[in-house]
Structure 1
C-alpha cells in the first residue's frame, strides 16, 4: 500500500525522474484492485450500467497513473511519449506492457540516477 500512496501523494504530478518496476507494478496492482472493488460497489448500489464511483476514482487517479508510467519508461531509458502506445488497441498496449516489464538501465541516464541505487557510480570508459 505504501507504493500506491507514494505515487498518489508524493509524486502526484511528477513526470521527471525514474520509477523502478516495483513502484510501477505495485501501484498498478493496487489501482486495479480498487477499481474492481468500486465497480462491484457501483453495480450493487446503482445497477449494472452505472459506474459513478469507479468513474470518479479513475478520473482522480488518471494523472498519477500516467506520471508513474512515464517515470517507469524513463527508468528504461525511453521517452515518456512512449506511453501514447496505449492508444493503439491490443498491439500498442502489449508493447507498453513489455516495456514496463524490462529492467532498469543500471547506470544513470538522461532522466536521473538508478532508483535501485545500483550502478550510480560513473565508471571510467577504459581502465
Structure 2
C-alpha cells in the first residue's frame, strides 16, 4: 500500500471503527500525523499563534490539527488491533504508564491474523478478492 493510499484510506474511513487495518496503513498514517503536527507547530511559531507565553506551548493551528486527526487516529488504531484479532478496548492499556505504550507498540508492529477473523476479511487479500477473475 502506497503512503498516499494509506492516508486516503484512513481519512475516507474518518470515524470507521469496524474492519481491519494493515500495518502499512497504520504506520503511514502515524507518520503523516507527525509531519502535519510539525508543520502546524512551525506555522504557529511563524504566525505567533501560540497559546500562552511558553515556547513549548501548543498553538491554535496545532490544536485544530490535533483535534481534526484525533478521531481517525483512534479509528485506525482500533482497526489495527482488529487485524491482530484484538478488541479495540485494548487501546485503554495505553493509559498504564510505560508498560501500556510498549504493549500497544508490540500489537501495532505484529503481523495481522491470516485470513478472516471475527472483525472481517484479511485486508491483505482485499485487492485480490476485488480483481475480476479470468475465465
TM-score bracket relative to the smaller structure: 0.7 to 0.9
Question: How far does residue 50 in structure 1 lie from its aligned partner after superposition?
Answer: 4.5
Cα offsets for 1:39-98 (capped at 9, x unmatched): 122122215235110111110111111000000000000000011122222221121111
TM-score by length of 1: 0.86
| Aligned partners of 1:21 and 1:101 also within 8 Å | yes
* Structure 2: stretches of 5+ with no match in the other structure: 127-135
TM-score by length of 2: 0.81
Q: Which residue of 1 aligns with 2:6?
A: 3
Counterpart check, 1:42 vs 2:50: no
Equivalent pairs, count: 118
Q: Which residue of 2 aligns with 1:29?
A: 31
Secondary structure in structure 1 of the residue aligned to 2:102: helix
| Aligned-partner Cα distance in 2 for 1:93–1:100 | 10
| Aligned-partner Cα distance in 2 for 1:58–1:89 | 22
| Aligned-partner Cα distance in 2 for 1:75–1:104 | 5
* CA-based RMSD: 1.7
* Structure 1: stretches of 5+ with no match in the other structure: 119-127
Question: How far does residue 6 in structure 1 lie from its aligned partner after superposition?
Answer: 1.8
